[in-house]
Structure 1
Amino acid sequence: VDARESLVRAERLATAGQLASGIAHEVGNPLGAISGYAELARARLRDGRPAALAQAAEFAERIASETARIDRIVRDLLDLARPSAPEVRPVNVRGPLDAALRLARAQARFRAVDVTEAIPEDLPAVLADEQRLAQVLLNLLLNAGDATGGAGAVLVSAREDGPAVELAVEDGGPGFAAADLARVFEPFFTTKPAGEGTGLGLAICRGIVEALRGEIRAGNAPGGGARVVLRLRRAPRDGAAG
């Protein structure tokens, strides 16, 4: 028992260390940029000429952008650390999927992505929080779109599987590297270039799905490309939540 408790403590410390390192890295980069832009803006303001003042205004915009980036990181961390209890009820997956698609298509990075849906008309409802499920699906759609360079194909499919319903989002990108599969749901783990992802999205998705007493797993589709599967509890046939 003592040995097991020691291992658990060691694992928690390691996780805390990884989180601290990730936070320092993700927040440190924009803070460094803010400091640099502030110094440049001060120099241009001291100069006082119209061209220099225009540059100072540009640097102020960049400071605002980096500040917003820090705000997003902090909000994502709060969602990860203190998720509120979901409002679970029978949900037709079409609703949150349509909402996620509308939000995704409103973003320039997703407008050229070709989405194919394979959702059976008679698919049972799932036990979920509609807004939370839409948040998960939006994250998966945007990740899939990014994996295809913003102009590839994405397939969203669903099927009933015994007491559960499985929703899958797969893309035509390069797929997950074998070495990354064990880490894709870790906070701050990302394969995106610096500044393009915090590595919190999939970790938050996992927290939401687990709060719904479901499962989420990542892998690669048979033909290549990443495939993320949500396994959610099927709602009782009478529509009562359980």
Structure 2
Amino acid sequence: IGIVLLAALTGFLVHHRADISVATSLALYLLVVVSVTAIGGPLPGVTAAVAAPLLANWYLIPPYHTLRINNTDNLIELSVFVSTATIVSAYVSIAERRAIEADEARRTTQKMAIEQNRLRKIALEAEMLAKADELRTAILRAVSHDLRTPLAAIKASVSSLRQEDVQWDDVDRGDFLQSIEGETDRLTNIVTNLLDLSRIEAGVVRPSMYATSVDDVISTTLRSLAGNSADVTVDVPADLPEVMADHALFERALVNLVQNSAKWSPAGTAVLVRGRSVGASVEVSVIDHGPGIPVDKRLQVLQPFHRLSDATSGGGLGLGLAIADRLIASMNGHLELRETDGGGLTAVITLPSVVGDAP
């Protein structure tokens, strides 16, 4: 391309050399040199920079067809052309090289970003698999103990009732049936909690948020606990604002908290469910006077299958508080564990209250 351009330009200038000055001709040659350098790179550019002044001297500067220069002005013009062409070609080459390097750096950065995203996805998948494996291990460990205990009690009661050589009176049969019913409820609660946890961990819980009456949620919670040995008192002011929540999820969280408090409450003491308005939020507290939870253990018990000790687990899987915490969080709320005045545990649910006219 460089040879063709130089040849074409030289032919044009030779044909019009009577009308075009040497300075103008050299300027046109300089344009060709720069173009060749930009298109072909340093080597073609240097070749064009050497060939152009030779062609100009041979065809355009008197005496023609020789390399001799008689006019000082022509010599100066040719020298300036050679210097300018060399400098411009060098700068064009440097700029082109830097552009290539920048393009390579950009492509390398893009490749690194793609690889980083790939590695991040792999790490995330590995973390999810590790958590899933950890969850499966915890489920198997907990279920192997906590399902076996009520099943053994049910089997023992049924086996006793089936004994034909023993005449059980109505009181004994009632005790056996009560044991079967209680252990069945216990199994139902375990399975329900496991299902709740699996739905939460799978991310399929989708709260339907709307204005919800706290008093209504507490009422349905107590109905759900009907037949349970829990003694619950309620303290909710009549003017307590509604909260933005999913009624069913709110109720399920409250059931878990009340069951947990009832399990640890001393005999003869009641679990208090209290509601109050705090700024733009509503707090619903579940208060007991049991042994409580040490401050350094309160975050731990909000993790699935975490129990303070197996000896004092009360036969639970250690899911109630964890499920309640996750259900409340799914509704943009917060669960905090505090110490009850005089000893015990106070579980405080905080949810945004409905301001103004709620749908």
Shorter chain as denominator, the TM-score bin is 0.7 to 0.9
Contact 1:154–1:169, Cα closer than 8 Å, also in 2:
yes
TM superposition shift of 1:225? 1.0
SS in 2 for 1:20: helix
More relative contact order, 1 or 2 (CA 8 Å, 6+ apart) = 1
Contact 1:114–1:151, Cα closer than 8 Å, also in 2:
no
Greater fraction of residues in strand: 1
Question: Which is higher, the Rg of structure 1 or of structure 2?
Answer: 2
SS in 2 for 1:124: coil
CA distance in 2, matches of 1:154, 1:64: 23
Match in the other structure for 1:57? none
Q: 1:147 to 1:198 in 2, by over 3 A?
A: same
CA distance in 2, matches of 1:64, 1:158: 33
Match in the other structure for 1:233? 352
Contact 2:338–2:347, Cα closer than 8 Å, also in 1:
yes
Q: Does 2:327 align with 1:208?
A: yes
Equivalent residues in 2 for 1:118-129 (5 A)? 119-129=236-246
Q: Deviations over 1:191-234 (max 9, x none)?
A: 47456211111221122111111111112123321011111011
Match in the other structure for 1:91? 212
TM superposition shift of 1:123? 1.3
Q: Does 2:296 align with 1:179?
A: yes
Q: Does 2:194 align with 1:77?
A: yes
Structure 1 runs (4+) greater than 3 angstroms displaced: 4-18, 30-35, 49-52, 62-75, 191-195
Q: Tell me the number of residue pairs that the alignment of Structure 1 and Structure 2 aligns.
A: 229
Contact 2:266–2:289, Cα closer than 8 Å, also in 1:
no
Match in the other structure for 1:106? 227
Contact 1:188–1:198, Cα closer than 8 Å, also in 2:
yes
Equivalent residues in 2 for 1:4-83 (5 A)? 15-29=131-145, 30=147, 50-51=164-165, 72-83=189-200
Q: 1:237 to 1:225 in 2, by over 3 A?
A: same
Match in the other structure for 1:146? 263
Match in the other structure for 1:58? none
Normalised TM-score (structure 1): 0.73
CA distance in 2, matches of 1:140, 1:133: 11
CA distance in 2, matches of 1:154, 1:129: 24
Q: Does 2:233 align with 1:115?
A: yes
TM superposition shift of 1:100? 1.4
User: In the alignment, residue 169 of structure 1 is paired with which amino acid?
Assistant: V
Q: 1:34 to 1:169 in 2, by over 3 A?
A: closer
User: In the alignment, residue 193 of structure 2 is paired with which amino acid?
Assistant: D
Q: 1:97 to 1:26 in 2, by over 3 A?
A: same
Worse-superposed segment, 192-201 or 26-35 = 26-35
CA distance in 2, matches of 1:146, 1:18: 27
Q: Does 2:343 align with 1:224?
A: yes
> Structure 1: where are the runs of 5+ without partners?
43-48, 55-61
Contact 1:31–1:66, Cα closer than 8 Å, also in 2:
no
CA distance in 1, matches of 2:234, 2:290: 15
TM superposition shift of 1:235? 1.4
Identity of aligned residues (%): 30
Greater fraction of residues in helix: 2
User: In the alignment, residue 233 of structure 2 is paired with which amino acid?
Assistant: V
CA distance in 2, matches of 1:72, 1:148: 19
TM superposition shift of 1:180? 2.0
Contact 2:150–2:186, Cα closer than 8 Å, also in 1:
no
